[in-house]
């Protein structure tokens, strides 16, 4: 079991050193990376599936985003956050969430409620 601020996770990673180190690094690092707008497209290109938050880096919407970023159910996604002003460049709204992926339709606007279940 791994404890992060009272949130316990069962180890479900690989059994070799590289996998164990990657799993622990994922659990202990910041769940979302702050990215400047000019670098967002390049940063998103480095992962297959990205969840991007546009908006202020505080408040209820951002807190929900960070809760989702910490979720072990969403570990396959890279989480990034950037400024409210950047939303317009991606035809997104702020506060809001945008999916950037390397397959099918590459840019998808999330239109649901900003809450993690």
One-character DSSP codes across 44-92: HHTSSEEEEEES-SSSHHHHHHHHHHH-GGGTTSEEEEE-GGGGGGGT-
Say yes or no: 56 and 13 in one domain. no
Q: Given a cut of 70, is residue 4 above it in pLDDT? A: no
Residues 73-105 have pLDDT tens digits of 888 899 999 999 999 998 888 999 999 998 887
The boundaries of the domain holding residue 11 are 1-30
Say yes or no: 114 and 79 in one domain. yes
Q: How far apart are CA 25 and CA 22, in angstroms?
A: 5
Q: How far apart are CA 42 and CA 65, in angstroms?
A: 21
Predicted TM-score of the model (pTM): 0.76
Mean local confidence (pLDDT), 56-76: 89
Say yes or no: 75 and 43 in one domain. yes
Say yes or no: 13 and 47 in one domain. no
The dihedral over CA atoms of 38, 44, 50, 52, expressed in degrees to the nearest 10, equals: 0
Say yes or no: 13 and 42 in one domain. no
Say yes or no: 39 and 64 in one domain. yes
Say yes or no: 55 and 86 in one domain. yes
Q: How many domains is the chain partitioned into structurally?
A: 2
Mean local confidence (pLDDT), 26-54: 91
């Amino acid at each position: 079991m791994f404890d992060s601020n009272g949130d316990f996770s069962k180890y479900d990673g690989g059994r070799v050193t590289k996998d164990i180190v990657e799993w622990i690094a994922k659990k202990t690092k910041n769940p979302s990376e702050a990215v400047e707008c000019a670098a967002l497209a390049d940063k998103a290109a480095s992962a297959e599936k990205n969840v991007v938050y546009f908006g202020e880096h505080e408040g209820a919407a951002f807190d929900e985003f960070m809760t989702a970023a910490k979720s072990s159910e969403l570990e396959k996604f890279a989480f990034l956050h950037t400024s409210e002003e950047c939303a317009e460049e991606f035809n997104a709204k702020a506060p809001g969430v945008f999916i950037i992926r390397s397959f099918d339709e590459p840019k998808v606007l999330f239109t649901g409620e900003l809450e993690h279940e």
